[in-house]
Amino acid sequence: MADFPVIYERSRPGRRGAQPPQPRQFDLEAALGGENLRKQPPRLPEVSELDLVRHYTQLAHRQFSIDANFYPLGSCTMKYNPKVNEEAARLFQDIHPYQAPETAQGALQLMYELQDDLAAITGMDAFSLQPAAGAHGELAGVLMIRAFHESRGEGDQRRVVIVPDSAHGTNPATAAMAGYEVREVPTDASGEVDLAAFEAAMGADVAAVMLTNPNTLGLFERKIRKLADIAHAAGALLYYDGANLNAILGRVRPGDMGFDVVHLNLHKTFTTPHGGGGPGTGPVGVKAKLRDFLPVPIIAKRGDEYVIDEDRPRSIGRLRSHFGNFGNLVRAYTYIRALGREGLREVSGHAVLNANYLRVKLKEIGFRVPFDRVNMHEFVAQPPEGMRTLDIAKALLDFGMHPMTVYFPLTVKEAMMIEPTETESLETLDAYVDALQQVLERAAEDPNYLANAPYETPVRRLDEVKAARQPVLRHRFEERGAPGS
Amino acid sequence: MRYHPHTEEDVSKALQTIGVGSIEELFDDLPRELRDPEMDLPRGIDEVALLDHLRSLAAKNSMSGPDFLGGGVRRHFIPSVTPHLALQSEFVTAYTPYQPEVSQGILQATFEYQTMMCELTGLDVSNASMYDGATATAEAALLAVRQTRRERVMVSRGVHPETRAVLATYLHPLGVTLDVVDLDPLTTPRLFVPEDVAGVVVQQPNFLGYIEEMTALTAATHAAGALMIAVVDPLSLALLAPPGAYGADVAVGDGQTLGNPANFGGPSFGFMVVKEELLRQFPGRIVGQTTDVDGKRAFVLTLQAREQHIRRSRAKSNICTNHQLAALMATVNVGALGPQGLREVATGSVERAHTLATRLEAAGLAPHTAARYFSEFVLPVAMDAAAVRSELARRGIHAGVPVPAEYGLGDAVLLSATERVRDEDITALATALAEIGAARAREVAHG
Amino acid sequence: MNTPEDLRYAKSHEWVRQDGGGVVTVGITDHAQDQLGDVVFVELPEVGRHVKAGDTVAVIESVKTASDIYAPVSGEITAVNASLDAKPETVNESPYGDGWLFRISGGNDAELDGLLDAAAYVRSLDED
């Protein structure tokens, strides 16, 4: 079968799609200066509108998605994204960030209320909606912690950020980006932070501890208040990575557990779509002692008017342009208002129920669970002895089901991290277990089955070594002539 | 419950399977004394009430009327086919394409995006997109610092003030010095670049709308062994010389103008395209072409060992997500317009802006037209710039981004045009400016 | 697995060959290349850089990992294997030969003595 064409291979000189308003007669060279003009046009697709529709519709069919497939990626929270969120976002999509603020009061009110809603949900005192993603929220949070220590004259002394060895890769990467050294602490036999190692790692050189709770093994850190006390006694601040907030929504709040800074992933807990890799959104919240350091701008209220407050001299500054990924703020606000406080609490209840159900079911068919206790919204399993996680993941694809997160956390060999989310039915979970059981059975019958799976997907296993050794990172046109000349 | 499928029977079946008596019991690990906090939130509402509420908020924003707002975000024509295709639920509700066998849709579209960005900028390698233009610029500055092992970055004041602010935020914790070069008066003057400079950041067209002499600025940058980081409006590259043509090492910018709605400033996407020799210092996701076991062409995330999920504290950046969906919007939109359509949109914007400036001059106003400009320019005004914008808004016209005081141009606003501007919009703006007494007398103006 | 008797080894899986004149050649062991899988890129140090034993001086990337390579002895980097740029797979194919990484001049005897011989290195693998 022929390769599926890239859009550039469908191009024919002179073919046209959409038609913008036709420009009037105008001397571009006189206006812009001949020396500033482009000499060779960029080679862009020339296709009809129907060609374009066919191309991107067929491409969409070469793609798994929540709307079509069960997608239980641990830590990623692939739950249903309500359609009403999309309708709500469209109501606001044409607002310009520089239009007079009095003509954007509805948008500003929404942001102001969302700041308050997120503070109420997390037990924090103030929020900034600016960060564009979870990792960006982490950067905001760690920079605020840095500014806090600097304001107390301890900036030079506190050089270290502590992260558990099971942490997301963004935690150490963020700490480094904010100019800190990283000190890792190990996990104990129960799957939680090792208390003795934590105490030994703590000291007057520590600026912050970054924790995910429940942690990346899907287990609640039961000693969290003790950890917070130890950190605070040493003058360090406690950072909450909100990747797993969906597990404890409405049950306990990071602010009450002793965290000083949190970031949230609106694309996980609050149902904004993942978009095939982004945009995410990572608002960051703080306790009152850090309020002054929040990134600018903040949406404030003066009398009856909502205003954009940029005049905050102790702020860490600006982290991106404008106010944040506003479109996603509308979606998250819509979700929070639809569910309300009781509805949000049921999210965590059903997420944890589904995850525990799946854990028990998988154990029944021979999967191993290294930390076998009641888990939260996700759990980490291992394949039956002698089998590779990668192979099982690939085999699942033929069943129209997406694999779990594989080989994370790094601390568990052959890790399979599974998060079914609250929006999936027991029938779907049973079907997943059934698919996994079939994979095991076929593997027992045919020793080559697993190594060659998948069989039915648009393409089969890829040569990733070739992709990395001889990178081809753009389409090569057949005719010559460099675009930059 | 909304969005959850669980019947009472389902809940009891699941509890029985797990071997616990209630959902509450599953939360026994949580500190008892902190359980079930009061949350100051309203109760949930039905979908009719929900949409009524959101529509009432939406009604408090004005989104129509003559539009001359710019400052990096412009409401260009977006054909209907663009959102219809880009926002198909397979694209919207997919995760990052870590399983390539079932993610060829997004992977191939990203490969097409990377190709498009290379063509537009005339550079070699594009990543899969970043958060926005400002953060892409900051990441480019960090790349220059890594590549040259120098700890000073120069930035023209012609770079968007918000972008410069983000640069400062990113560079400060790493101890990198940021020097700002003043404009003279509308464009960046000839540069002297000291030999301890890692990179020079210049925006084309600049924040005020004027065209910089990129060839000379790049030569001065390279003479010092520094990298030229060109911040560009990708739509302008339908007409203007691409960064590759004047020797820039890195092209960055915001892709909003290629087919994303204004979205009150986000999400759009940032792009970064570099010369091949910078590939190993490059942050962010990259898609590459390879083959599958049957020899079929296929696409996959590649060169991942640079990234945070593998390198952890020594990754090139902490960036994890890209702005995939917004980049896809741009890819589809450019496919819909084609090279000719894109050129028409850009040409129309330039023509409308120049027609507007001529018309304002005829009406006795004094826009700054001494330097060449693209589709945006500065209009000095006789009153507070924000007040001009508000007065225009009262008359149903969106125009007048205030020019910050740092430019030394006095009270002034930016006026920008797109191909959508009609003759009657120009008349309405000229009339309104006269009505509110915004005109600054021509003899006072200079520059 | 191949562990030549005439080389010295670091526990972090580098091998060291004494070339005479105070110069040593450094690479990674057969065991290490096998654990890494297909090498796709090697990041080498700058010639002329002064390193201390234990410093991170190179990085070897496979598709899904990046592994630090440490200087087994102190001294100056006098040469790097530039052919790995185009053919990183040489590290897999010939870890003790054409797949060498870099040379260091000036290592002291005490550091060399502190390294393992082949038998001790093989024993150290069992402890992992």
Contact (CB, 8 A) for A224 and A205:
no
The answer to whether A337 contacts B37, with C-beta atoms less than 8 Å apart, is no
Mean of pLDDT values over B395-424: 98
The reply to whether residue B310 touches residue C41, judged by beta carbons under 8 angstroms, is no
C-beta of residue B240 within 8 angstroms of C-beta of residue A38: yes
Rounded CA-CA distance A275/B105 in Å is: 12
Nearest to B311 among C41, C63, C66 (CB): C66
Helix runs in A241-325, H state only: 254-257
Which candidate in C40, C43, C65, C92 is best for mutational testing of the A interface (most A CBs within 10 A)?
C40
Asked if A36 lies within 8 A of B211 by C-beta distance, the reply is yes
End-to-end CA distance of chain C: 16
User: How far is the C-alpha of A465 from the C-alpha of B298, rounded, in Å?
Assistant: 13
Q: Are A54 and B335 in contact (CB under 8 A)?
A: no
Nearest chain A residue to C85 by CA: give it. Answer: A469
Structure confidence at residue C109 (pLDDT)? 81
Q: Are B96 and B128 in contact (CB under 8 A)?
A: no
HSE-CB of A283 using CA atoms within 13 angstroms: 35
Helix (H, G, I), strand (E, B) or coil at A474: coil
Q: How many residues does chain C have?
A: 128
A16 contacts chain C (CB < 8 A): no
According to DSSP, the β-strands at B287-291 and B297-301 are antiparallel
- Strand pairing category for C66-70 and C56-62: antiparallel
Residues 142-201 on A with a CB inside 8 Å of B are 143, 146, 168-170, 172-179, 182
Q: Is the pLDDT of residue B440 over 80?
A: no
Residue B442's pLDDT is what? 55
What pLDDT is recorded for position B128?
Answer: 97
* Whole-number Å distance between alpha carbons of A171 and A428: 33
Query: According to the model, what pLDDT value does residue B55 have?
Result: 98
Question: How far C40 CA lies from chain B's nearest CA (Å)?
Answer: 9
Closest CA to B263 of C102, A111, A389, A255: A111
Q: Mean pLDDT across the stretch B212-238? A: 98
Q: Do C66 and B280 touch (CB under 8 A)?
A: no
* B134 pLDDT higher than 60: yes
Distance CA(B202)–CA(B253), nearest Å, equals 11
Q: Which chains touch C (3 or more CB pairs under 8 A)?
A: A, B
What is the phi/psi pair of residue A406, to 5°?
-115, 150
Distance CA(C60)–CA(B37), nearest Å, equals 50
Range C114-127 average pLDDT: 90
Q: Above 90 in pLDDT, residue C1?
A: no
Q: How far is A271 from chain B (nearest CA, A)?
A: 10
Radius of gyration of chain B (CA): 25
Buried b vs exposed e over B365-396: b needs ≥16 C-beta within 10 Å? bbbbbebbbbbbbbbbbeeebebbbbbbbebe
Specify the pLDDT at position B446.
Answer: 45
Query: Chain C interface, mutation test: which of A465, A466, A470, A472, most C Cβ atoms within 10 Å?
Result: A465
Interface predicted TM-score (ipTM): 0.97
| Partner-chain contact B59 A106, CB within 8 Å | yes
The answer to whether residues B389 and A100 touch, using CB atoms and an 8 Å cutoff, is yes
Distance from CA of B390 to the nearest CA of A (A): 6
Identify whether the C-beta of residue A177 lies closer than 8 Å to the C-beta of residue B319. no
Query: Following CA atoms B288, B291, B297, B298 in sequence, which dihedral angle do they give, to the nearest 10 degrees?
Result: -50
Residue of C41, C61, C63 for testing the chain A interface, max A β-carbons within 10 Å: C63
Beta strand pairing status for A261-264 and A284-286?
antiparallel
Query: Which of A481-485, B246-250, B314-318 is modeled with the greatest confidence?
Result: B246-250
Fill in the amino acid letter for C39: V
pTM higher than 0.90 for the full model? yes
Q: Give me the residues of chain A with pLDDT under 70, please.
A: 1, 479-485
Strands (E), B209-353: 227-232, 250-254, 270-274, 287-291, 297-301
Contacts of C41 in chain A (CB under 8 A): 468-469
More confident site: C21 or A213 = A213
C-alpha angle A340-A341-A346 in degrees, rounded to nearest 5: 95
**pLDDT score for B299:** 98
Helices (H) then strands (E): counts for chain A: 14, 12
Instruction: Specify the long-range contacts of residues B358-362, CB closer than 8 Å, at least 24 apart.
Output: B359/B426, B359/B427, B359/B430, B360/B415, B360/B430, B360/B433
pLDDT the model gives residue B447: 38
Are residues C65 and B305, on separate chains, in Cβ contact within 8 Å?
Answer: yes
For testing contact with chain B, the best of C44, C57, C63, C70 (most B CBs within 10 A)? C63
Task: For C13, list phi and psi in degrees, rounded to 5.
Answer: 80, 20
Q: Residue B439: what pLDDT?
A: 76
Q: Which uninterrupted H or E stretch holds B57?
A: helix B47-58
b/e per residue, B57-71, with b = 16+ CB within 10 A? Answer: bbebbbbebbbbbbb
A468/C64 CB distance under 8 A: no
Residue B314 with chain C: CB contacts under 8 Å: 66
Q: pLDDT per residue over B12-57, tens digit each?
A: 999 999 999 999 999 999 999 999 999 999 999 999 999 999 999 9
Which of B132, B264, B267 has the CB atom closest to A92's CB atom?
A: B264
Region C110-124 average pLDDT: 91
> For residue B257, which of B150, B346, B136, B374 has the smallest C-alpha distance?
B346
Q: How far is A469 from chain C (nearest CA, A)?
A: 5
Residues of C with CB below 8 A from A465's CB?
Answer: 38, 40, 63
- Contact between A420 and A354 under an 8 Å Cβ cutoff? The reply is yes
pLDDT the model gives residue A1? 64
